[in-house]
Amino acid sequence: MLIRRKRGWELPESAATDEAVFRNRRNLLKGLAAGPMLAAGLVAPHLAAAGEAAAGPPASLYPAKRNDKYKLDRPITPAKYSTTYNNFYEFSEDKDLWQAAQALKVEPWSIKVGGMVEKPFTISFDDLVKKMGLEERLYRHRCVEAWSMAVPWTGFALAKFVDFARPLGSAKYLKMTTFTDPAVAPGQNKFFYPWPYVEGLTMFEAKNELSFLVTGMYGKPVPKQDGAPLRLAIPWKYGFKSVKSIVSFEFTDQMPKTFWWALQPSEYGFWADVNPAVPHPRWSQATERVLGSDMQVPTLIWNGYGDYVADMYKNLKGERLFA
């Protein structure tokens, strides 16, 4: 039986319209060559984030000290855009979901660590944050839908968490899973999606210094619509790798079947590294729309983070790295 249904990024008509509109505009820039005036950190978000920051004992830990190693080549995206234009299919297929996401209860929040580890355990989010400590990093984020943002995330290195979890040497992948609760997340009642949302990294990727577990943004606990209380930020991969509201980490020797890969294998795979030269089957990845503006800028391979990550892939032959 052919079931006519919405399928992820096939549908958002609003997004498709956007794309058509912005492609017709004449302000395709040859890069954000605005120079040092626009350098990271000089343009502060001018409006507060939408919705309640997810409060909790760790709220007292904000703002965390910025790690200046990670620089941006563009202004920080004002919070009013990054907290009101979201992808969180558990709540809606539309971007305007921040109010719906407030139904998510993030306190208390438990995180399970299991699979190929010395000893499985469960830890509360608050205890985990106290153990890990927090820092702030400025990262670019490139969605597969060809829009991008630049965000001051707060959190801790995923590598630090991996050490803490004590995986076995035989573990090859880290699988991360979002909560399941159809009573608060209406999208999870749509049977054609392969819930729960799952993402995965190789152990090499998980231990890369850029891989970051996010607990906050703009110097405050991360809002629910952006993935409270704990999400991933993997800046060299398309944004769908950055799984939100994580409840479990599982170390495994099997490549995890990730959400979008399971749903649409012809279009999305496990790796999903950013590459402007490899188009999505239905649109170009050559440029990106800067969220909160009508600027189009060229997309960079590995989203500009090749110095940190290219080495991990040089011996990987025959893998579909850029989808």
CA atoms of 193 and 284, how far apart (whole Å): 25
CA atoms of 322 and 320, how far apart (whole Å): 6
Least distance between ligand MTE and beta carbon 33 (Å): 25
Would the CA dihedral through 57, 63, 66, 70 be positive or negative?
A: positive
Three-state SS sequence of 113-130? EEECECCCEEEEHHHHHH
Query: Among residues 116 and 247, whose Cβ is nearest to ligand MTE?
Result: 247
Q: Does 237 bind ligand MTE (CB under 6 A)?
A: no
Query: Among residues 64 and 146, whose Cβ is nearest to ligand MTE?
Result: 146
CA atoms of 277 and 268, how far apart (whole Å): 16
Q: Does 288 bind ligand MTE (CB under 6 A)?
A: no
Query: Among residues 86 and 299, whose Cβ is nearest to ligand MTE?
Result: 86
Residues 70, 89, 249, 305: which binds ligand MTE (CB under 6 A)?
A: 89
* Region binding ligand MTE by CB under 6 A among candidate stretches 73-81, 235-243, 268-276, 311-319: 235-243
- Of the candidates 238, 214, 235, the one whose C-alpha atom is nearest the C-alpha of residue 304 is 235
Residues 86, 92, 248, 303: which binds ligand MTE (CB under 6 A)?
A: 86
CB within 8 A of 282, min separation 6: which ones?
A: 10, 267
Between 202 and 231, how does the x/- string for binding to ligand MTE read (CB under 6 A)?
Answer: ------------------------xx----
Residues 22, 212, 218, 240: which binds ligand MTE (CB under 6 A)?
A: 240
Residues 178, 188, 211, 285: which binds ligand MTE (CB under 6 A)?
A: 178
Q: Does 239 bind ligand MTE (CB under 6 A)?
A: yes
Residue type, 23: R
Quote the crossing angle between the two packed helices 158-165 and 125-132, to the nearest 10°: 110
Indicate the length of the chain as a whole number.
323
Residue with tokens 């904000």: 62
Query: Among residues 240 and 305, whose Cβ is nearest to ligand MTE?
Result: 240
Least distance between ligand MTE and beta carbon 142 (Å): 8
Query: Among residues 140 and 207, whose Cβ is nearest to ligand MTE?
Result: 140
Q: Does 162 bind ligand MTE (CB under 6 A)?
A: no
Instruction: Tell me if residue 269 falls in helix, strand or coil.
Output: coil
Between 243 and 262, how does the x/- string for binding to ligand MTE read (CB under 6 A)?
Answer: xxx-----------------
* HSE-up of residue 207 (Cα within 13 Å, Cβ side): 14
Least distance between ligand MTE and beta carbon 19 (Å): 15
The pair of structure tokens assigned to 74 is 């563009």
Three-state SS sequence of 4-52? CCCCHHHCCHHHHHHHHHHHHCCCECCCCCCCHHHCCCCCCCCCCCCCC
* Region binding ligand MTE by CB under 6 A among candidate stretches 40-48, 80-88, 158-166, 300-308: 80-88
Least distance between ligand MTE and beta carbon 242 (Å): 5
The pair of structure tokens assigned to 77 is 């995206």
Point out which residues bind ligand MTE (CB under 6 A): 82, 86-90, 143, 178, 197, 226-227, 239-240, 242-245
